[in-house]
């Protein structure tokens, strides 16, 4: 097991109201090289879990362990190793990339911070290699991100996270802002990177069809609690909890015959 | 001449509808900063929506879907419009601002993606829904009565009590119902819904779609539904128009477009959507990205990304032409029209 999240609870201050508890006793594990999906309706706590996994916020209760490191209390070399080996990609490829930095500076920043390549030439070579791996043209290294499309920016964000060879990549809605055709490019890229680099991916998304495509393991959240977790087959083919069933039933299917039939059937059910 | 009437089977019955709105060679130019020059975003769009018909408009971000819809209602003051938009016999592009103002809300109404930015946080729900009617000179009591009736129709429970509530007291799904009530209270004949469910999570999205479905059936309301979710299109619309780089590239019955998309871009879009009800394999991805309006390629705007392009594609712009029951803009289909 690479990372374990053990009974964590988290509250946010909601002054003047008492703090609101948004995670209740959440437990889940991430194994090396696996893609795990966090799903649930808006406000169910998906992003809060992702932030805890990245140590951007701390849960009040419970423990998070990454490869022998106690994440919540980690300091010094342990914390540095954690920060290097667990990386993130967020939804908004526009807001998360500094417009004053060139592509080379953006992608190479982690190499510099973690002192992974001593010379500028070696950094440049790693950046070029990474750009090629994610389907960008290394000749664009000196450009600013303004002139890139949403899909290209998300590739830059992914290259930036992967260049320092993390073992876990936490992605919070990485394709939500992208178009259908570009979304497919990014999902394929993530899948490819998972295999090539034996990378574990924690993938947060609303779109259950996308999650099913990418993730072998699924965790279903409802109001800050894990209501069900299992393999892709268990969750999608044989969901146990009514909440999971209702989430799956609501996913629109891009097929007019299937889509209409499903809606008609559901209406009959509610009418009875 | 003797006509043969074959037995209709479900797939071949196409209801003939009275046209409600006909759009002809619509272009939309937007100003570029303060330079005085402009850029053509919507580049000659033609379509008709029948009375009570549900049509989806799909396409990638930036393809011009919202600006097309907004042009029908003349919502963008800075936009330069040309072409014709016939609604019930009048050309909307020729109406005075005042007459156009009267038509908004009463004949054509619009709902947007983000209900919160559309609602006034300091005004009660009842007043906001009634406002359209008040503007038209309807008395306070009557307007309130009709607002209540619409909220009821849209399934807002305890509607009478909640007339005096404020938007922040409502959940996302309920707010979208309120916005829908504001659009419907004037009894429009065409509702333009611009991504009304994109910001909602799946279960709420599904409720809002059911609601729209019911209302449009009950009222014989035509709906132009803008979305990039093909799943939503499949479950809701009767016809789908696909937009790419400011033009419509395919327009046809939903069932036939999904079963047999004709335009290479539509084919790619349909293949690129992961589906919850199908086997897993590598997702098809259309290479490249849509062009920005200022750098639209020559010839067919899709040609740099098209895996079926041939010599003509980089030179000639394909026109939208009838192909069977659909219309398609692609050189591959030249001469295959009806
Ligand atoms: N910084 C914060 N301060 C106070 N409350 C917060 C904060 N961040 C999130 N919340 C609340 O915590 C709950 C869980 O939020 P979270 O963002 O984790 O949900 P989510 O599952 O990611 O939802 P979405 O799908 O909408 O992104 C919500 O009720 C939210 O309003
Ligand atoms: N007010 C404006 N001034 C100048 N350009 C604009 C304006 N509004 C939109 N545009 C540009 O027009 C193009 C089409 O925009 P539009 O909003 O119609 O796209 P869309 O198809 O609705 O996309 P989305 O799916 O992202 O909503 C985009 O390139 C956009 O940047
Ligand atoms: S006209 Fe040519 S480039 Fe355009 S879609 Fe058809 S085949 Fe492809
Ligand atoms: Mg979130
Ligand atoms: Mg839009």
Count CB neighbours of A115 within 10 A: 8
- Average pLDDT of the residues in B110-134: 86
3-class state of residue B36 by DSSP:
coil
Distance from CA of A253 to the nearest CA of B (A): 5
Domain boundary residue among B138, B154, B184? B184
Number of neighbours of residue B135 by Cβ within 10 angstroms: 15
Structural domain containing residue B160: 120-184
- Whole-model pTM: value is 0.85
Residue B287 inside a domain? The answer is: no
Residues A45 and A23: beta-carbon distance below 8 Å: yes
> Is A246 close to B282, i.e. CB distance below 8 A?
no
B306 in contact with chain A, both atoms CB, cutoff 8 A: no
Q: Does B90 lie in the same domain as B22?
A: yes
- Per the structure, how many domains does chain B have? 2
DSSP E strands: which ranges in chain A?
3-14, 17-30, 35-39, 61-66, 69-70, 86-89, 168-172, 200-204, 217-222, 225-231
Residues B97 and B128 in one domain: no
> Tens digits of per-residue pLDDT, A92-150?
666 778 889 999 999 999 999 999 998 999 999 999 999 988 888 899 999 998 878 77
Q: Which fold has domain A3-239?
A: Rossmann fold (3.40.50)
Residues B192 and B103 in one domain: yes
Cβ contacts of A213 on chain B, cutoff 8 Å? 274, 280, 283
The string of pLDDT tens digits covering residues B146-196 is: 999 999 888 888 899 899 999 888 877 788 889 999 999 999 999 999 988
Q: Whose CA is nearest to atom 16 of ligand 1?
A: A45
Contact list, A256 vs chain B (CB under 8 Å): 234-235, 254-255, 258
Pick the range with the lowest mean pLDDT from A167-181, A191-205, B16-30, B120-134.
Answer: A167-181
Is B101 found in the same domain as B134? no
**pLDDT value of residue B228:** 81
B77, B199: one domain: yes
In a domain, B305, yes or no: no
Q: Do residues B255 and B129 both lie within one domain?
A: no
Model confidence over B69-88: pLDDT tens digits? 999 999 999 999 999 999 98
Which residue lies with its CA nearest to atom 1 of ligand 3?
B330
Residues of B in contact with A210 (CB under 8 A): 274
Nearest CA in chain B to A251: B202
ipTM of the modeled complex: 0.75
- Domain end (from B135, B159, B184): B184
Instruction: Look at residue A270 in the predicted model and tell me its pLDDT.
Output: 60
pLDDT at B56: 96
Q: Are residues B169 and B274 in the same domain?
A: no
What is the dihedral sign for C-alpha A174, A180, A184, A185? Answer: negative
CA A8, CA B263: separation in Å to the nearest integer?
51
Within a domain: residue B257? yes
Asked if residue B11 belongs to a domain, the reply is no
By Cβ distance, the residue of B213, B231, B284 closest to A252 is B231
- Give the residue, A205 or A54, on which the prediction is more confident: A54
In this structure, the answer to whether residues B199 and B133 fall within a common structural domain is no
Distance CA B327, CA B336 (A): 11
B258 found inside a domain = yes
pLDDT digits (tens, 9 = 90+) for B297-307: 999 999 999 99
A150 touches chain B (CB under 8 A): yes
CB of A57 sitting under 6 A from ligand 1? no
Q: Is A257's Cβ below 8 Å from some Cβ in B?
A: yes
Q: Tell me which of A91, A134, A153, A181 to substitute to probe the interface with B (most B C-beta atoms closer than 10 Å).
A: A181
Residue A214 makes CB contacts below 8 A (sequence gap 6+) with A35, A37, A187, A190, A191, A201, A203
Helix H or strand E encompassing B327: strand B326-328
B192 shares its domain with B47: yes
Candidates B60, B202, B234; nearest CB to A206: B202
- CA–CA gap between residue B304 and residue B302 (Å, rounded): 6
CB proximity A176 to B under 8 Å: no
> Does one domain contain both B70 and B92?
yes
Q: What residues pack around ion ligand 5 (CB closer than 5 A)? A: B 66
The residues spanned by each domain of chain A are 3-239, 241-272
Q: Residues B108-126: what's their mean pLDDT? A: 85
**Cα A212 to chain centroid, rounded:** 14
Q: What CATH number is attached to the domain comprising B245?
A: 3.40.50.300
| CA–CA separation, A176 and A173 (whole Å) | 5
> What DSSP assignment string belongs to A21-86?
EEEEEEEEEE-TT-EEEEE-STTSSHHHHHHHHTTSS--SEEEEEETTEEGGG--HHHHHHHHHHE
Digit-coded pLDDT (tens) for A9-26: 999 987 777 888 999 999
Are B258 and A254 an interchain contact pair (Cβ–Cβ within 8 Å)? yes
């Amino acid at each position: 097991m690479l990372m374990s999240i053990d009974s964590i609870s988290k509250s946010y201050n909601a002054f003047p109201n008492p703090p609101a508890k948004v995670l209740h006793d959440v437990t889940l594990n991430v194994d090396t090289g696996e893609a795990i999906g966090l799903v649930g309706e808006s406000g169910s706590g998906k992003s809060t879990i992702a932030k805890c996994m990245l140590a951007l916020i701390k849960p009040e209760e419970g423990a998070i362990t990454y490869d022998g490191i106690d994440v919540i209390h980690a300091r010094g070399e342990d914390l540095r190793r954690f920060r290097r080996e667990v990386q993130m990609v967020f939804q908004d490829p526009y807001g998360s990339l500094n417009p004053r930095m060139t592509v080379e500076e953006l992608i190479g920043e982690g190499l510099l911070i973690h002192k992974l390549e001593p010379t500028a030439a070696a950094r440049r070579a790693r950046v070029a290699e990474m750009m090629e791996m994610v389907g960008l043209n290394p000749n664009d290294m000196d450009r600013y991100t303004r002139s890139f499309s949403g899909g290209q920016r998300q590739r830059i964000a992914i290259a930036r996270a992967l260049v320092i060879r993390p073992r876990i990549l936490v992605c919070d809605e990485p394709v939500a802002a992208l178009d259908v055709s570009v979304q497919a490019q990014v999902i394929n890229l993530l899948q490819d990177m998972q295999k090539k680099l034996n990378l574990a991916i924690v993938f947060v998304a609303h779109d259950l069809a996308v999650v099913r495509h990418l993730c072998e393991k699924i965790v279903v959240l409802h109001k800050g609690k894990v209501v069900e977790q299992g393999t892709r087959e268990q969750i999608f083919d044989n969901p146990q909890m009514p909440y999971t069933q209702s989430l799956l039933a609501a996913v629109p299917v891009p097929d007019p015959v299937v889509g209409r039939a499903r809606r008609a059937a559901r209406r009959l059910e509610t009418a009875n | 001449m003797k006509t043969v009437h074959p037995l209709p089977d479900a797939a071949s019955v196409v209801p003939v509808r009275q046209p409600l709105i006909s759009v002809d060679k619509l272009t939309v130019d937007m100003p570029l900063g303060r330079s005085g020059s402009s850029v053509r975003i919507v580049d000659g769009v033609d379509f008709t929506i029948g009375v009570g018909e549900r049509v989806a408009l799909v396409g990638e971000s930036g393809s011009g879907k919202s600006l097309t819809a907004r042009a029908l209602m003349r919502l963008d003051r800075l936009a330069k419009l040309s072409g014709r938009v016939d609604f019930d016999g009048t050309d909307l592009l020729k109406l005075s601002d005042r007459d156009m103002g009267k038509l908004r809300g009463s004949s054509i109404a619009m709902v947007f993606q983000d209900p919160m930015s559309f609602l006034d946080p300091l005004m009660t729900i009842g007043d906001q829904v009634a406002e359209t009617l008040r503007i038209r000179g309807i008395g306070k009591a009557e307007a309130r009565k009709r607002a209540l009736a619409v909220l009821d129709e849209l399934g807002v429970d305890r509607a009478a009590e909640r007339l005096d509530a404020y938007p922040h007291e409502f959940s996302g799904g309920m707010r979208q119902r309120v916005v829908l009530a504001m659009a419907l209270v004037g009894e429009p004949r065409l509702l333009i819904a611009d991504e009304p469910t994109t910001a909602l999570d799946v279960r709420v999205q599904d409720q809002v779609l059911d609601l729209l479905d019911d209302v449009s059936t009950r009222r014989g309301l035509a709906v132009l539904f803008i979305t990039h979710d093909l799943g939503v299109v499949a479950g809701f619309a009767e016809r789908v128009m696909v937009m790419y780089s400011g033009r419509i590239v395919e327009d046809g019955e939903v069932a036939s477009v999904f079963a047999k998309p004709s335009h290479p871009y539509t084919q790619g879009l349909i293949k690129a959507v992961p589906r919850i009800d199908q086997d897993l394999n590598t997702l098809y991805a259309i290479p490249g990205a849509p062009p920005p309006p200022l750098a639209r390629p020559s010839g067919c705007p899709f040609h740099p990304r098209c895996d079926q392009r041939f010599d003509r594609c980089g030179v000639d712009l394909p026109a939208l032409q009838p192909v069977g029951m659909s219309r398609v803009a692609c050189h591959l289909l030249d001469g295959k029209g009806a």
